[in-house]
Amino acid sequence: MPDAIAYISRDTDGQLWKKALEAALGPIDFRTLDNLGDKADIEVALAWKPPAGLIASFPNIRLIVSLGMGVDHLLAEDELPAGVPIVRIMDDGLVGQMSEYAIYWALRHHRDIDKYAASQRTKQWKPEEFVDTLHRRVGILGLGTIGQDTAAKFAALGFPTAGWSRTQKTLPGIETFHGPDGFKRLLARSDILIDVLPLTRDTRGLLDAAAFAALPKGAYFINMARGGHVVDEALLAALDSGHLSGATLDVFNQEPLPPEHRYWTHPKVHVTPHVAGATNPRTASPGVIENIKRRRTGQTLIHTVDPKSGY
């Protein structure tokens, strides 16, 4: 019986995953990208941005685990073995980091910290005009696990908070919008727009010139989802024209962000290297272990991915 677990990622050496899995499953045959051995032994792939076609070359693979909550990195390559279930990690630690990231950058904008840093550099004592929290409307694109957690935390801080999802959702204390019409309405009322959508056929390029134009003048944009949602020229034009006051970008159409890209040096843009939420084996492994056990005993899997919808 094939029972090896392959860790397919270049982000870390996978040793924390090996430790977490062995604590629950006992000694395992743990393979890494540089040490895959006989591919026929591999039963489970834990994958983050796998090389195209690699997983399809494991003849006995029975379970594919996305090491990211987003699964576009797996589905994009279109060469996964047919009929093999795909599950994602569900990681409270990562969810908490994502909402922390959004709150940090939103508050930094809301409380004019960049302006005060600039004043300090020129030794100016210059109070900025204060905006009441009640008048800073936060809009969240995507109301999955991360969007809901982020929305609840902004609402708890007192920001009027709304969210948009493909299908209708009802959440306590959050104004919700859905569908194409709801998308425009969400944009029109968002002084801070936070993107946590999955990347699918429907969301690629969603944030184009029309979308940025629909935001109120002076809006701030935080992207901690996927760069593929954004038409970069449209975002840069909206920043250059002054329609948007700034942006924090953690994700990009091309990663790593090429050195010549304008985002690196744009005075209104903060760039971080896809770190808003890092998968943490401590918090993500229980769900993965559960799925490995379920697969081995023929039970229904949890956190499954529907390749058709793309999440």
Active site residues: 226, 274
User: CB-wise, 99 or 279, nearer to ligand OXD?
Assistant: 279
Instruction: Compute the least distance from the CB of residue 70 to ligand OXD, in Å.
Output: 3
Span of 57-65, 66-74, 185-193, 296-304 interacting with ligand OXD by CB under 6 A = 66-74
Could you tell me if 48 and 68 are in contact, meaning their C-beta atoms sit under 8 angstroms apart?
Answer: yes
Task: Give the number of residues in contact with ligand OXD, rule: CB under 6 A.
Answer: 6
Q: Pick the binder of ligand OXD from 4, 44, 62, 68 (CB under 6 A).
A: 68
User: CB-wise, 279 or 283, nearer to ligand OXD?
Assistant: 279
| Amino acid found at 64 | I
> Which residues between 247 and 266 bind ligand OXD (CB under 6 A)?
none
Q: Which helix (H) or strand (E) holds 245?
A: strand 244-249
Q: In what order do the strands lie in the sheet with 175-178?
A: 175-178, 161-165, 138-141, 192-195, 219-223, 244-249, 269-271
Could you tell me if 55 and 64 are in contact, meaning their C-beta atoms sit under 8 angstroms apart?
Answer: yes
Span of 9-17, 68-76, 123-131, 203-211 interacting with ligand OXD by CB under 6 A = 68-76
Q: Pick the binder of ligand OXD from 70, 147, 163, 228 (CB under 6 A).
A: 70
Task: Classify residue 126 as exposed, middle or buried by CB count within 10 Å of its CB (0-12, 13-18, 19+).
Answer: exposed
**CA gap 222, 103 in Å, rounded:** 10
- The answer to whether 287 contacts ligand OXD (rule: CB under 6 A) is no
- The answer to whether 50 contacts ligand OXD (rule: CB under 6 A) is no
Six-digit token pair at 30? 């743990």
**CA gap 28, 18 in Å, rounded:** 8
> Which residues between 93 and 122 bind ligand OXD (CB under 6 A)?
94
Instruction: Compute the least distance from the CB of residue 137 to ligand OXD, in Å.
Output: 26
Q: Pick the binder of ligand OXD from 142, 160, 246, 277 (CB under 6 A).
A: 277
Span of 64-72, 101-109, 124-132, 255-263 interacting with ligand OXD by CB under 6 A = 64-72
- DSSP symbol at 177: E
User: CB-wise, 155 or 224, nearer to ligand OXD?
Assistant: 224
Q: Pick the binder of ligand OXD from 69, 106, 151, 305 (CB under 6 A).
A: 69
Task: Give the contacts of 162 (CB within 8 A, at least 6 positions apart).
Answer: 137, 138, 139, 140, 151, 174, 175, 176, 177, 186, 189, 190
Report how far apart, in Å, the C-alpha atoms of 106 and of each of 95, 129, 217, 221, 247 are. Answer: 17, 17, 16, 9, 10
Catalog residues that contact ligand OXD under the rule CB under 6 A: 68-70, 94, 277, 279
